[in-house]
Amino acid sequence: MARRLVPESVVADAQAQIADAVKAALAQQRISVMANLHAHGIVAAATVDKASLWHPATWRAAVDKHVAPVAAAVALTIVNAARQAVPAHMTWGAAVSAPAMAARITDSVDRAGGRIATAIATASAAADEVEQHVSDLLDSAIGWVADIAGRIAGSAAAEATVSLADHINNLGYGPITQVWNSAFAQTSREDHMDADGQEVSAGEPFLIGDEELMYPGDPSGSDENTINCLCWLTVNGVGDDVPAAQDIGDEEQVVEE
């Protein structure tokens, strides 16, 4: 029976926590952007250097302060939820790193700042009153947070699922397979909806359109195929009737460590 290793409620809670953290980072960045505007002493669009409004280093500092701690907690929760979905002996030695996942979450939010910076630079160029227009854009950027948070949290849960499924399969508890599930949301891509129900062996990629992805939001995929993806994975072969723990030799333990 297909099942989610990371419950939907855990992903939803992670989305909310990341969203709140990004909102706090944006609030801090707003202070920097407005200070940069006022430092020019001007509000006319034609005379403002748009690149000077958004400082990437300041954004990264805000992300490190507000998002990084939340990412660390969320990643640990997601990994633990995935591990708890199967018996402990099946996750022994699994290489699912919460710190590495937390770093990817934080870096993803940092890169998302570039999208906001570009929007501010592009849209404010046509505005008569730059300060008000930039302020409005920063307000609207909060609406993007839900998309960013949803993609990051869902991708982290899918990453944990793929890592554990492959590990369990390699231990000989298989065959384990993974199933792609489309959200069928208004923003869902046609290729992602076409992939709904696609099943592959653990450790094998999905064919999404003309691109191979290991899981929804796979960072190795193109932006067109991964950004804001709300799809998720289920796993076959890891049910309630799992086999009992088996003795593992010393040689295997060394390999797993």
Tens of pLDDT, residue by residue over 108-120, are 889 888 888 888 7
Q: Are 77 and 14 contacting, i.e. CB atoms less than 8 angstroms apart?
A: yes
pLDDT at 251 over 90: no
The residue extents of the domains of the chain are 8-256
Specify the pLDDT at position 40.
Answer: 64
Mean predicted lDDT score pLDDT of the chain: 82
Q: In Å, what is the CA distance from 8 to each residue of 56, 115, 158, 168, 223?
A: 33, 28, 11, 21, 24
Predicted TM-score (pTM) of the model is: 0.82
Q: What percent of the chain has pLDDT over 70?
A: 84
Q: pLDDT digit string (tens) for 119-157?
A: 877 766 665 677 777 888 888 887 777 677 778 888 999
Phi-psi region for residue 182, left (φ > 0), alpha (ψ -120 to 50) or beta?
Answer: beta
Return d(Cα 15, Cα 11) in angstroms, integer.
Answer: 6
Residues in Cβ contact with 175 at an 8 Å cutoff, skipping those fewer than 6 apart: 169, 201, 202, 237
* 132-136, 156-160, 211-215, 247-251: range with lowest mean pLDDT: 247-251
